[in-house]
Copies of this chain bind each other. A is one copy, B any other.
Amino acid sequence: MNHGVERVGDGSGPAGGWVSSRPRAERARRVADVLRQQIGEGGFGGGRLPDERALGRQLGASRNAVREALGLLRREGLITRRRGVGTTVVMPKYGQGLDRLAGLAEALAGHGTVTNQVRVAEEVAVLPDAVAARLEVPAEAGGVRLERVRWLNGLPLSLDTSYLPADVGAAVLAGDLVGRDVFGLIEEATGCRLGRADVVVHAVCADPDTAALLGIPAGAAVFALERLTRLTDGRAVDTESIHVRADRMTLRATLQRGLPPAAT
C-alpha cells in the first residue's frame, strides 16, 4: 500500500479509498464532485440533503470532508445551509443544449417564459473593427447593437450583447425585444432560417458589472460565450458575447464517437 504522491488509497474502503491519508481538501473535492452531479440529476428528492454524518456514510468520507465539500457547493450557489433547517438545494440548474442552435427562450421553453430587460437597442453608425470583421461587412456600413439581461422566473440568467448588420438589425429593432429571442426575430426579418453558429465557450470569474447585472457576487464563475450565427446561405447575421450564470445553468451535449477525423 503506497500513500505517496502518485498513488493513493488501497481500494478496500466502502468508497474506494476516500478515507485515506490524503489532505482534507482532496477528499472534499471528490465529495463535492459526486454531490454536484447528484444534485444535477435531482438525486435528492425534495431538495433536502441528508445530514453530514449520513452523507459521510453514503460516500465513505469523513464528516470533516463532507462539511468542507458542502462549503464548496454553498459558495458555488448550489445549496444553502441553515442551522436547524439543514442543507437544501437552492434550485435545479437549467440546462441549455449544445446539440442544436436555439435561443434561450426556445431552449428553456418548458421551464417558463423568458423576458428581457433591454439595456441597449440602437443603430451604430460605425462598427468597431473587430465586430465588422466578424460580420464580414465594412465598419462604415454600421449596424445595430443590442444588450439585454434575460430573466426567467424572477432570475437574471444571462447578459447578451449582439451586433447585427444594418438591414437585419433595423428590422429586429422593430420587433418585440422584451419578449422574444433575437434568433426568431432575425428569421422573421429576413424570411430565412438560421443555418449554423460557431460557439466558443469560456469560463471566467464575473467582472463587477456582469456580476451586478446578474445578481451574483463579483468573482463568481460564469460562462462567457462567443457566438457567430449565420443564415442558411452563410451570411453572418449576429455576433454575440453572452455571459451566463453558471450557478443556475449548465451546458449539455450528447457526443457521438463517430469516426476519427481523417489525417491531414
| Chain A interface residues (CB < 8 Å from chain B) | 5-12, 14-18, 23, 25-26, 28-30, 32-34, 36-38, 40, 43, 58-60, 72, 75-76, 93, 95, 98-101, 106, 117-131, 134, 143, 145, 161, 163, 193-205, 207-210, 212, 219-224, 226, 232, 241, 246, 250-258, 260-261
Would you call A128 and B253 a contact (CB within 8 A)? no
CB neighbours (8 Å) of A221 from chain B are 203-205, 221-222
Which residues of chain B have C-beta atoms less than 8 A from A32's C-beta?
207
Among A95, A129, A254, A255: residue with most chain B CB under 10 A: A255
Chain B residues near A196 (CB-CB < 8 A): 254-257
Q: Is the CB of B203 within 8 A of A6?
A: no
26 A-B pairs with C-beta separation under 8 A:
A7-B118, A7-B119, A7-B120, A8-B119, A14-B126, A18-B128, A26-B209, A29-B207, A29-B210, A30-B161, A33-B224, A33-B241, A34-B131, A40-B226, A58-B128, A58-B130, A95-B200, A100-B258, A101-B255, A195-B256, A196-B256, A197-B257, A198-B252, A201-B251, A202-B250, A203-B203
Using known A-B contacts A11-B122, A207-B32, A256-B195, determine if residue A128 contacts B16 with beta carbons closer than 8 Å. yes
Asked if B100 and A255 make an inter-chain contact with CB atoms under 8 angstroms apart, the answer reads yes
Measured between C-beta atoms, what is the minimum distance from A71 to chain B in Å?
A: 9
Q: What's the dominant secondary structure at chain A's contact region?
A: mixed
Given contacts A8-B119, A122-B7, A145-B16, are A246 and B209 in contact (CB under 8 A)? no
